[in-house]
Chains A and B, each alone.
Chain A
């Protein structure tokens, strides 16, 4: 049971978002730009993977399940493959650039000051642009927020992975704005 009465039964972040639509609006608009639109040269799969990976590091079941399923949808791989990437991305079939960006994201998850000049230089050497580095850091930082919002209020989350996998195509088509139904 959630720590507060959210006045709705929606899972994960959608519970507090429906409870507080004023704050949900910029939160969803931020997610939309970071993950779907925003003229990014990172693919939607890349961006969802960063979100899923940071959520995994933050041990947030709901967010890593949602965004892991989204990454799998875009990358056309199954959820087991996504699980393996989360556990050891260096061993995964990803570009060197993505590996260096995931390294930066992992540092952001620990704290902003954990990002080192060497990590940034490595990402640039692997072809990452300033905008890609910016977006990686902001996606990782934003998930450190979303994860804390979801778990800090002890929201409920479906335990069946299929729930998230089945919903991913709809979310991919519809986007994050309007993902919350307000009573």
Chain B
């Protein structure tokens, strides 16, 4: 059970945003601009970075939900998401993505862990300043979301299959601020 009195049955960050909509709005706006706004990285690549960092932070809710979003965006290549989570070295992703995931992994540990050689390696694989900026900020941002979700012990559905619909919705509609359940839905429950 969550540490604070959030709506029952609402999973993860959605329950926290309904508890505190004032901060929730900006958290969702940030996710939308960062993961769906203009970027040299594709939406799928950005979701892969988000899931990769969340997995390193051991945050099951964020890992499963963003991996599901990445799979939905990857379509026929959905296996790539699992390959990255298993082993970035052997996954059939570009050299540039591998170098950016290396930077994201360093950011996950701490900002000061990112060294000039990590940046150089990414540049050699074709990453530009914006690729690097967006990677660092996505990794930093998920170091927040992961702590928020787990630090308040929010509800985490246990199975990967629980997240498939969520992933499709995130792929199709992006990050819209959750709204409280309507009265009719409440009556049904």
**Chain A contacts to B: CB under 8 angstroms:** 3-5, 16, 19-20, 22-23, 25-27, 29-30, 33-34, 38-39, 58-60, 104, 107-108, 111-113, 115, 117, 120, 130-131, 133-135, 137-138, 140-142, 144-154
Q: A19-B133, A148-B107 are in contact. List 14 more A-B contacts (CB 8 A).
A: A3-B132, A4-B132, A20-B137, A30-B27, A38-B22, A133-B152, A138-B20, A141-B148, A144-B147, A146-B140, A151-B114, A152-B114, A152-B140, A153-B136
Complex CA–CA separation, A49 to B23 (angstroms): 19
Q: Which residue of B has the minimal Cβ distance to A7? A: B129
Count the B residues whose beta carbon is within 8 Å of the partner chain — how many?
47
Using a CB–CB cutoff of 8 Å, the interface residues on chain B facing chain A are 3-5, 16, 19-20, 22-23, 26-27, 29-30, 33-34, 37-38, 57-59, 103, 106-107, 110-112, 114, 116, 119, 129, 132-133, 136-137, 139-141, 143-153
Chain B residue numbers with a CB within 8 Å of A138 are 16, 20, 23, 148
The answer to whether B133 and A16 touch across the interface, beta carbons within 8 angstroms, is yes
Q: In angstroms, how far is the closest chain A Cβ from the Cβ of B140? A: 4
Q: Are B144 and A115 in contact (CB-based, < 8 A)?
A: no
Q: Beyond A4-B133, A16-B137, A149-B140, is A120–B148 a contact (Cβ under 8 Å)? A: no
Interface pairs (18), CB distance under 8 Å: A3-B114, A3-B119, A19-B133, A26-B29, A26-B30, A108-B147, A112-B57, A112-B146, A133-B152, A135-B20, A137-B152, A141-B147, A144-B140, A147-B111, A148-B140, A151-B110, A151-B114, A152-B136
